Amino acid sequence: MDWLRLNVSNLCNFKCPGCHVFELGENNLPSRVMSKEVFIDSIEHFVALMIQKNHTETKVSIYGGETLANKKVIKECIQLFGNHYKGIKLHWIVNTNGSLLKEEDILFFKENKVEIHISVDGPEEIHNISRPTHKGKGTFHMVVPALELLKKYQSLVQLNTYMMPSNYLSLKDVVDIAEKYDIKKIYLDQFYNLDMISHQVGMDIYREVYFYALMKGIQVTGPWSRVLKTHQGFTKKRDVLHEQLSIEVNIDGTFYFPGSVETKKEIRNIKELNSLFSNGDAEKIIEKMKVKFDKKCEGCSIIDQCYGSAIQQVHYHISSDADPGVSCNFFRDWCGFLMRPVQYKKFEKFEIISLISLDGTDVMVSKIVSAISMLEKKLWKLNSKIVFNIVEYTEELRAVSGQNNLPNWVKATTAGDSFFYHVGTELTPALIHELTHLFIAQKKLQLPEWMTEGLCEWIQNSELDMYLVKKSMVEKNLFSLIEEMEFGKILLIELDNKKPFENPLYIQAKGFVGFLIKELGQEQFNLLIETTITNDLESSLKVMKLKTLHEYIINFCSEVFSQRLVSNG
């Protein structure tokens, strides 16, 4: 038993079209708020059960309707029990639509270490569709003041949202809202309009949003989070079902187990909670759940970790008669994706860490070995091993590399001593280019970013089409952007959304490196590059008593434009 949910209010100033409390589920209780007596009874009896089971802490989630329609009772009871009661640590959570959350409430919750879960479904126009008032008016303007206050007081906050037909294309905006208000957690609930969003569409959106948030340092959780915890804990949910049960208490003091929604129909008072366990009735309910899940979950690839969680979600939000098939497919695919095993392989010069199968990687390994060997002959010996991180999707590439501005066409990138790519076991043509970045990074050469890119392009392929260089310089002048790039920290990749071999800025940078090698000779050029270990490029040219960088650039431009060139093609 690790979670108590108190439905403290059946009142709400919003009328959300998809709300399971008022629209999709059975809610025949009168519209009112939970009394202080029922609230106290619920905590007392649940804590007594925790003590009986030798537990030391539990979550207490305050739920509704709109919970803050009952804020007086909530505050009085939180103050009464505190964060520790009879040896049990209480983690308080208040779920709210945010419209009634005032400054004094936020200060009270912060002082009492209460986590606030506030519902936001997207930018203003989307939120207003999914969360209108009873008169159909928008409510986003009612939530923003609460978000601003939560940021001001650095409260414990989580954004709650559902994936719905109205907002599934705007979920990145929810991440942006979280970032704007310094919120580090988002609970992204799955979709329950099962006929309107396929599980595959849901999977794609989830993946995109999950990694988009990860790049911004924001954690996305959801109803599948317990599945992952079970997986990470090397346990089987069937074996620990007794420990993972939760209790939901209605406003009138009746309760049920959300994991077995059939028990909603069995009216039990919270005062009977302990006797339910002591007389064996709870065991009977658990056994009924196991019989149901054994039958429905048979053959599922994540049965040990999920064991009915996907079914519970649908039945809780819709009804016990609803078909959970789409939810099961989604849980299976999404959790299977997140539970992919990390695979390792070690070699003399490099190591591979992969989220995809490393079976049959002989060709890939051979290409890496050859590329490293070639670069060590052409440049210098590696100082340390290179780590190859193999991922499956562009979003993962951005997330694990920490480079959230990578264009979609980028298959590989580097950071530190690590090489990241998402093309499975097929290496991209950028292997030499990106490895050159790592060689340069290990030497800590003080080269301008644009020249580093040019050198990587040159090492990858030293053939030069001067027609393309001239065409590129007409199209876009790299050197007029140098000062802006150096001081504004703008990257080539951000200046033009074309692949390097099509990008006029990359072509010019490569052309200039080729020109410099021709002017200095390979040996002197190599010495110049080595000198940038201790000096920047300008100083290195001066130390070697060569022309200034500006003079070389003028000569390069002059040579390119003085020639009558024809295309090699």
Under DSSP, is residue 18 helix (H, G, I), strand (E, B) or coil?
coil
pLDDT at 561: 87
Strands 418-421 and 268-269: unpaired
Degrees to nearest 5, angle at CA 281 with 280 and 285: 120
Contact 222, 190 (CB under 8 A): yes
Q: Which H or E run includes 327? A: helix 325-338
| Distance from C-alpha of 88 to C-alpha of 51, rounded to nearest angstrom | 8
Q: Which residue has the higher pLDDT, 165 or 272?
A: 272
pLDDT grade for 25, boundaries at 50, 70 and 90: very low
| Distance from C-alpha of 497 to C-alpha of 97, rounded to nearest angstrom | 40
| Distance from C-alpha of 34 to C-alpha of 522, rounded to nearest angstrom | 82
* Bridge partner residues of 186 (DSSP): 159, 220
What is the second-level CATH architecture of the domain 341-444? 3-Layer(aba) Sandwich (3.40)
Closest CA to 553 of 486, 473, 453: 473
pLDDT at 445: 92
What average pLDDT does this structure show over 281-299?
A: 90
pLDDT at residue 55 greater than cutoff 80: yes
Best-predicted range by mean pLDDT (121-130, 330-339, 390-399): 121-130
pLDDT at residue 465 greater than cutoff 50: yes
What average pLDDT does this structure show over 423-450?
A: 88
Q: What is the mean pLDDT of the chain?
A: 88
pLDDT at residue 291 greater than cutoff 50: yes
What average pLDDT does this structure show over 389-411?
A: 86
pLDDT grade for 120, boundaries at 50, 70 and 90: very high
Strands 254-256 and 268-269: antiparallel
Degrees to nearest 5, angle at CA 512 with 461 and 507: 55
Q: How many residues does the chain have?
A: 569
CA count, 13 A, side-chain hemisphere, 563? 15
| Distance from C-alpha of 203 to C-alpha of 554, rounded to nearest angstrom | 53
Q: Parse the chain into domains and list their residue ranges.
A: 3-338, 341-444, 445-569
What average pLDDT does this structure show over 141-162?
A: 96
pLDDT at residue 437 greater than cutoff 90: yes
Closest CA to 455 of 385, 360, 528: 528
Degrees to nearest 5, angle at CA 172 with 171 and 174: 65
pLDDT at residue 567 greater than cutoff 50: no
pLDDT at 92: 98
Closest CA to 466 of 167, 474, 116: 474
Tokens of 546: 């060569």
pLDDT grade for 21, boundaries at 50, 70 and 90: low
| pLDDT tens per residue across span 415-430 | 888 999 987 777 777 8
| pLDDT tens per residue across span 331-364 | 999 999 999 889 999 999 999 999 888 888 888 8
Strands 254-256 and 246-249: antiparallel
pLDDT at 194: 54
pLDDT at 26: 41
pLDDT at residue 29 greater than cutoff 60: no
| pLDDT tens per residue across span 527-549 | 999 999 999 999 999 999 999 99
pLDDT grade for 513, boundaries at 50, 70 and 90: very high
Under DSSP, is residue 235 helix (H, G, I), strand (E, B) or coil?
coil
pLDDT at 78: 97
Contact 208, 172 (CB under 8 A): yes
Rg over CA atoms, the chain: 30
Q: Per mean pLDDT, which range of 4-8, 224-228, 433-437 is the poorest?
A: 224-228
Residue 156 CB partners (closer than 8 Å, separation 6+): 109, 110, 113, 114, 115, 116
Q: Which residue has the higher pLDDT, 49 or 24?
A: 49
What average pLDDT does this structure show over 323-328?
A: 86
pLDDT at 27: 44
| pLDDT tens per residue across span 193-226 | 556 677 788 888 899 999 999 988 899 999 989 8
| pLDDT tens per residue across span 58-116 | 999 999 889 999 999 999 999 999 999 999 999 999 999 999 999 999 999 999 999 99
DSSP assignment string, 164-210: -TTTTTSHHHHHHHHHHTT--EEEEE----TTTS-HHHHHHHHHHHH
Q: Which residues of 502-512 are buried (b: 16+ CB within 10 A; e: fewer)?
A: ebbbbbbbbbb
pLDDT grade for 486, boundaries at 50, 70 and 90: low
Residue 325 CB partners (closer than 8 Å, separation 6+): 194
Q: Per mean pLDDT, which range of 136-140, 300-304, 475-479 is the poorest?
A: 475-479
CA count, 13 A, side-chain hemisphere, 88? 27
Q: For the chain, what percent of residues have pLDDT higher than 90?
A: 57
Under DSSP, is residue 346 helix (H, G, I), strand (E, B) or coil?
strand
pLDDT at residue 18 greater than cutoff 50: yes
pLDDT at 511: 95
Q: How many CB atoms lie within 10 A of CB 548?
A: 11
- pTM for this entry: 0.81
pLDDT at 377: 92
310: exposed, middle or buried (C-beta count within 10 Å: 0-12, 13-18, 19+)?
buried
**Given strand 350-354, what is the order of strands in its sheet?**
343-346, 350-354, 386-390, 418-421, 412-415
| Distance from C-alpha of 256 to C-alpha of 285, rounded to nearest angstrom | 10
Q: Which H or E run includes 278? A: helix 273-278
pLDDT grade for 23, boundaries at 50, 70 and 90: very low
pLDDT at residue 266 greater than cutoff 80: no
Q: Per mean pLDDT, which range of 234-238, 434-438, 493-497 is the poorest?
A: 493-497
**CATH for the stretch 3-338:** 3.20.20.70
| Distance from C-alpha of 36 to C-alpha of 34, rounded to nearest angstrom | 7
Tokens of 303: 């049965």
pLDDT at 488: 56
What average pLDDT does this structure show over 311-332?
A: 84
Tokens of 487: 């001081």
| Distance from C-alpha of 355 to C-alpha of 344, rounded to nearest angstrom | 9
pLDDT grade for 30, boundaries at 50, 70 and 90: low
